[in-house]
Amino acid sequence: MSCPSVRKAERQSMKVQDLNGSEVTWLGQMQEAGRLLHQVYVGQVDGLPDLPGLDQVWVKWQSDRTNERPEANSVVNALGLCFGQQLVDRLGFRWAVIADEYGTELGCIAQPGDITVFPANATAKRIEKGAHPFFAELFSQVEARVRALHRQPPRQ
Q: What is the pLDDT of residue 112?
A: 65
Say what the pLDDT of residue 59 is: 96
Q: List per-residue pLDDT tens for the chain, 156 residues long.
A: 334 445 544 445 789 999 999 999 999 999 999 999 999 999 999 999 999 999 999 999 999 999 999 999 999 999 999 999 999 999 999 999 999 888 999 999 998 667 899 999 999 999 988 889 999 999 999 999 998 887 765 555
- What is the rounded distance in angstroms from the CA atom of residue 65 to the CA atom of residue 114? 40
What is the SS3 assignment for 46?
coil
What pLDDT shows up at residue 152? Answer: 64
Architecture of domain 6-149: Up-down Bundle (1.20)
The alpha carbons of the chain give a radius of gyration, in whole angstroms, of 16
8 A C-beta contact, residue 119 and residue 87: yes
Q: What number of residues does the chain have?
A: 156
